[in-house]
């Protein structure tokens, strides 16, 4: 009698097991989300510290300071409020250009301040008297050149209008400090007003003009760039911490 031995049945994979590549990608995405959560939670701790009409009223601090600057109506206050998840932290005057003070906000968890945000007066608004424009520009220039604990500068720019003459002047003022290691970021606000092609073009142009600084698209409405910018600011203050 002949015995027939059937070949072993082939092993069938259901396809549910993740491939190494997909598993690595999922891990990377999860890590990125975790970093974004840490950064956004840190920015959410922002609290008002003080306001100063002149530099000598600012307190001397030994923690890193990040300054937000930009033309009036460039969306600076909206950007700060979106990043910190606080609707009225940064004050947006109903009369652009009328907010004349430098406002400081502390950052840090468990009640320990590890950084400060500085909201500088908006500049370039046409209705503001010339002498006020000159005074504000001088105050900001002095601040950007002499503030010892200044770690980074965030410049707001509406990409539909590009850099103005005053923006260019500001870039000239900070360039020596950027060369020395000062962090610099240009945020292209109101990115939702541009289509995809226009966004790519605006990014390319600004990267050429930023003089070695970072450039990011940003939209408070669409939340474009919120996580990316949050993580960048966190890294400026906490280098080497993942």
pLDDT at residue 11 above 50? Answer: no
pLDDT band at 26 (very low <50, low <70, confident <90, very high): confident
Strands 102-107 and 47-52: antiparallel
Structural domain boundaries in the chain: 21-237
Residue 111 has what DSSP assignment?
Answer: G
pTM for the whole structure: 0.84
The mean pLDDT of 4-18, rounded to a whole number, is 50
Closest CA to 159 of 99, 90, 225, 83: 225
Nearest CA among 178, 142, 149 for reference residue 60: 149
State the chain's mean pLDDT as an integer. 85
Question: What does DSSP assign to residue 210?
Answer: S
What average pLDDT does range 67-85 have in this prediction? 91
The per-residue pLDDT for 17 is 55
Q: What is the pLDDT of residues 86-129, one digit of tens each?
A: 988 986 655 444 457 899 999 999 889 999 999 998 876 656 66
Residue 55 confidence (pLDDT) = 87
Q: What is the pLDDT of residues 159-180, one digit of tens each?
A: 998 898 888 888 998 999 999 9
Secondary-structure class of domain 21-237 per CATH: alpha beta
Question: Angle formed by the axes of helices 20-43 and 76-84, to 10°?
Answer: 110
**pLDDT tens, position by position, 221-238:** 999 999 999 999 999 999
CA distances from 71 to 31, 44, 165, 221 (A): 36, 25, 10, 20
């Amino acid at each position: 009698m002949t015995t027939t031995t059937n070949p072993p049945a082939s092993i069938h994979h259901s396809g549910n097991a993740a491939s190494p590549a997909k598993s690595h990608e999922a891990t990377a995405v999860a890590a990125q989300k975790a970093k974004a959560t840490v950064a956004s939670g840190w920015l959410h701790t922002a609290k008002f510290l003080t306001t100063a009409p002149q530099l000598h009223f600012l307190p001397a601090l030994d923690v890193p300071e990040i300054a937000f600057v930009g033309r009036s109506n460039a969306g600076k206050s909206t950007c700060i409020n979106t990043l910190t998840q606080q609707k009225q932290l940064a004050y947006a005057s109903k009369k652009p250009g009328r907010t004349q003070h430098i406002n400081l906000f502390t950052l840090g968890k468990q009640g320990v301040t590890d950084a400060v945000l500085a909201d500088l007066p908006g500049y370039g608004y046409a209705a503001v008297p010339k002498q006020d424009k000159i005074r504000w520009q001088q105050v900001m220039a002095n601040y950007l050149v002499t503030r010892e604990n200044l770690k980074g500068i965030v410049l707001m720019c509406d990409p539909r209008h590009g850099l103005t003459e005053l923006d260019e002047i500001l870039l000239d003022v900070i360039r020596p400090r950027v060369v020395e290691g000062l962090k610099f970021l240009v945020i292209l606000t109101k990115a939702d007003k541009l289509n995809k092609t226009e966004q790519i073009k605006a990014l390319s142009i600004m990267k050429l003009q930023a003089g070695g600084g970072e450039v990011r698209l940003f939209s408070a409405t669409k939340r474009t760039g919120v996580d990316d910018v949050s993580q960048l600011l966190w890294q400026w203050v906490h280098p080497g911490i993942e």
